[in-house]
Amino acid sequence: MALALVGGAFLSASLQVLFDRLASSEVLHFIRGHKLSDSLLSELKIKLLIVDAVLNHAEVKQFTEPAVKEWLLHLKGTLYDAKDLLDEIATEALRCKMEADDHSQTGSAKEWNSISTWVKAPLANYRSSIESRVKEMIGKLEVLEKAIDKLGLKRGDGEKLPPRSPSTSLVDESCVFGRNEIKEEMMTRLLSDNVSTNKIDVISIVGMGGAGKTTLAQLLYNDARVKGHFALTAWVCVSEEFCLLKVTKSILEGISSAMQSENLDQLQLKLKGSLGDKKFLLVLDDVWEKGCREWDRLRIPLLAAGKGSKVVVTTRSTKVAAVMQAVHPHYFLGELSADDCWSLFTKLAFENGDSTAFPQLESIGRKIVAKCQGLPLAVKALGSLLYSKVEKGEWEEILESEIWGWQNLEILPSLILSYHDLPLHLKRCFAYCSIFPKDHGFDKKELILLWMAEGFLRLSQSNIRMEEVGDLYFHELLSKSFFQRSVTQESCFVMHDLIHDLAQYISGEFCVRLEDDQMHEITEKAHHLLHFKSSSSEMVVFKRLRPLWK
């Protein structure tokens, strides 16, 4: 179900692009200026709204009903066709404007504009057929619309991702490897006096889903030094919805007794009284950006705690740490070392954690661990999956398969949640990055220019440049751990392999790479193509391959 919902978010983003294009002044002026039917565009928008209404339900059903999955594939292809058509209308509108300007110019300017118009002249062939192409698009959507009832698709929000089990403060330390250095750094901070002007210091652990943030917080929380230092401790799993009432209740249950009340004022007064100038440690696990604004209201009763009290927050977003005024530096969890990953894997994959009894499996196992790129949750999931499997063929099958094919693994919902938390405009930008190869060093300026060329950037203010919008988009993705700063190239950014796999899953067959002139299968769905050679830093991006198949 988790994978099904990913595709839905991408299609919703694609539909939003089309609605924006339909309302653009270029399209409207061209249609009216050439006396084409306004009603056709209205009908096109209505058809798009109809399929949009059942999209969420379709995303859930596609996992169990192949016909629904096929319906979604046809819809995605049709949306790309519609986007291409509207792009061509906008381009033709620009060409017509250049022709009009040409009549009012003289000299070199007129000569250059004539050349520019001549280059764009082939697009004029589309003018007479635009109306018929819009009708063709409506016809395709009508076919999809007629199938809605037959497939049993209903209007509504559909099903959401199944809720994850909340974390607790308990930890099996025998399955924890590495992170000793950062743990001791944080321990020193926890046991020291506050370094900020705030009465209670906030310490943040930041990292992508599955990096081990919760495990590190559990190790700190259960350390004997912490138990002896703080008079009161509480652990609260916040997750995606930061409910102030629920969080306050959970803190009270941790430090005193439960209070059967739905009155937030009474609960906060009780919390303030229970703290009573005692040294207090609070762990807020898995805090998301959309809920962290409630922190200002939660911290008020916490100010009654004694000097040296601390709050540890785990999050995927540096913005959460900033909003909660976490002290610097933020503790960012990067990749677990190769040795620690192997220790974790052998603990879970081999009986008694001993790999020496299976020498034929060890080399395969190390390659499997390398695919996880230092992500503890992925190592843990694969180690558990392979436990009790002793056949070499079973291990090779896992090594050769794609991680996103292992739909029962916990890693999937963990990373997909991060994607679902993105606004629509960032979903488009992220999915587009699948066109680049793994381990690609992203140049921020070049990527922003490509986003601009694709029309992914949307101006919200008239006094801001498009490049600045792209910069905001990029740093938003960076703050949410979709990109990481390269450790080898200071000016570049990289994407974790599993995050890249997620982008590939979302974009499907619509984004294709041609690497070192090796021809990969290119289906008629292909819309974007990147050609590059590993021996050269040059890359060429192609767009709109669909006309090749007409």
How far is CA 186 from each of CA 1, 172, 524, rounded to the nearest angstrom? Answer: 38, 20, 53
Whole-number Å distance between alpha carbons of 5 and 172: 32
Binned at pLDDT 50, 70 and 90, residue 160 comes out as: low
The helix (run of H) or strand (run of E) holding residue 8 is: helix 2-22
Binned at pLDDT 50, 70 and 90, residue 345 comes out as: very high
In the prediction, which pLDDT does 112 show?
43
In the prediction, which pLDDT does 334 show?
87
Amino acid letter for position 100: A
Q: What is the mean pLDDT of the chain?
A: 78
Tokens for 73, please give them.
Answer: 């594939």
| DSSP output for 104-172 | T--HHHHHHHHHHHHHHGGGGGGGGGHHHHHHHHHHHHHHHHHHHHHTT---S--PPPPPPPPP-S---
Percentage of residues of the chain with pLDDT beyond 70: 73
| Burial class (CB within 10 angstroms; exposed 0-12, middle 13-18, buried 19+) of 321 | buried
| Burial class (CB within 10 angstroms; exposed 0-12, middle 13-18, buried 19+) of 500 | buried
pLDDT at 107 over 80: no
pLDDT at 74 over 60: yes
Q: Could you tell me how far CA 449 lies from the centroid of its own chain?
A: 20
Binned at pLDDT 50, 70 and 90, residue 37 comes out as: low
In the prediction, which pLDDT does 114 show?
45
Backbone angles phi, psi at 236, to 5 degrees: -130, 125
What is the third-level CATH fold of 173-332? Rossmann fold (3.40.50)
Average pLDDT over residues 142-150: 89
In the prediction, which pLDDT does 121 show?
43
In the prediction, which pLDDT does 440 show?
83
- Which of 90-104, 140-154, 248-262 has the lowest average pLDDT? 90-104
Segment 501-536, tens digit of pLDDT: 888 777 766 566 666 556 556 665 566 666 555 555
- Which of 4-8, 27-31, 296-300 has the lowest average pLDDT? 4-8
Highest CATH level, class, for 423-549 = mainly alpha
Average pLDDT over residues 491-510: 78
pLDDT at 354 over 90: no
Domain coordinates in residue numbering, the chain: 2-150, 173-332, 338-413, 423-549
Q: What is the pTM of this model?
A: 0.70
Average pLDDT over residues 472-476: 92
Segment 369-395, tens digit of pLDDT: 998 889 898 888 888 888 878 888 888
Segment 172-214, tens digit of pLDDT: 898 899 999 999 999 999 998 766 667 789 999 999 888 999 9
Most confident range, picked from 330-334, 379-383, 542-546: 330-334
Query: Is the sign of the CA dihedral 417, 420, 425, 431 positive or negative?
Result: positive
Segment 412-454, tens digit of pLDDT: 667 777 777 787 788 888 988 888 888 788 999 999 998 988 8
pLDDT at 224 over 90: yes
Q: Could you tell me how far CA 533 lies from the centroid of its own chain?
A: 28
